[in-house]
Amino acid sequence: MRAVTGRVLLLGGTGEARGLAEALAAEGVDVLSSLAGRTADPVLPPGEVRIGGFGGTEGLADWLRANPVRALVDATHPFAREMTEHAARAAARTGTPHLRLQRPGWREQPGDDWRRVGSLEEAAGAVAGFAHVFVTTGRTGLGAFAGLTQEVLVRAVDPPEPPLPPRTTVVLERGPFSVDDELALMREHAVDVVVTKDSGGHLTEAKLTAARQLGIPVVMVHRPPLPPGMTVVETVEDALAWLRAQAG
Ligand code: NAP
């Protein structure tokens, strides 16, 4: 099997990014993981880590000129739209081989009642008429729900900042979550609708199973589109295969 040679810049903040960093570090590859610095106590991947933004497309392009890498792998979250756009442009400007690693979205299953919307604002509109809303879209962007007057349960890793709906209960927890835990939480708060982004992946999908079992609807926010023309893989294994091919 061909080895990956040269330094890899890995834009992270996801389980896939950590998985790829672990696989590369295990092969002795020089991997530099980059985190945005949004969470107070991030789970750090093995290998070297840098934290904080690059300063937009130009900042990242300058960084790549000063610190050339074998490849740039963008394994940020499917909703980290800005970083993904900056990475695509900066890679093109500097001629850096560039890969997008993005896990597939969730698939609706028999028994699901999903209502697909295009934004957090639309999601807030879609929960009108429900009494106990469970918002699992993360700490940022919650201002979109500030006008809701019903009971709102918000789950996030770090405390969310105002504005929040007036009747908000915050649960601070980091996944993965089990179906039993999700069922217990939803029953405790009499949740009758769940709001989520289509993040995909196994770490947080238990809420979808719990909603199906309880027979309650899920308001599913669509992913932002990817910039055109980029190479995209969905798994750590395929990212490794792409990196090995680059090495040849
Ligand atoms: P974003 O809106 O796409 O990015 C905003 C800015 O944050 C970027 O322009 C960049 O600043 C900086 N940034 C983002 N990811 C970075 C990284 N990996 N390394 C260095 N700088 C980074 O991103 P976001 O939605 O706020 O997400 C921030 C981070 O949290 C991402 O790493 C993402 O993987 C992770 N995350 C996001 C979500 C979500 O729902 N959005 C969920 C779980 C985890 P500069 O322009 O200064 O370079």
pLDDT (tens, 9 = 90+) of the chain, 248 residues, equals 567 768 999 999 999 999 999 999 999 999 999 999 988 889 899 999 999 999 999 999 999 999 999 999 999 999 999 999 999 999 999 999 999 999 999 999 999 999 999 999 999 999 999 999 999 999 999 999 999 999 999 999 999 999 999 999 999 999 999 999 999 999 999 999 999 999 999 989 999 999 999 999 999 999 999 999 999 999 999 999 999 998 66
**Residue 234's closest CA among 209, 201, 205?**
201
> What distance in angstroms lies between residue 160's CA and the mean position of ligand 1's atoms?
16
Within its chain, how far is the Cα of 68 from the centroid? 26
> What distance in angstroms lies between residue 76's CA and the mean position of ligand 1's atoms?
7
Is the CB–ligand 1 distance for residue 176 below 6 Å? no
Predicted TM-score (pTM) of this structure: 0.94
Is the CB–ligand 1 distance for residue 88 below 6 Å? no
CA of 82, closest atom in ligand 1: 3
CA of 11, closest atom in ligand 1: 18
> What distance in angstroms lies between residue 14's CA and the mean position of ligand 1's atoms?
10
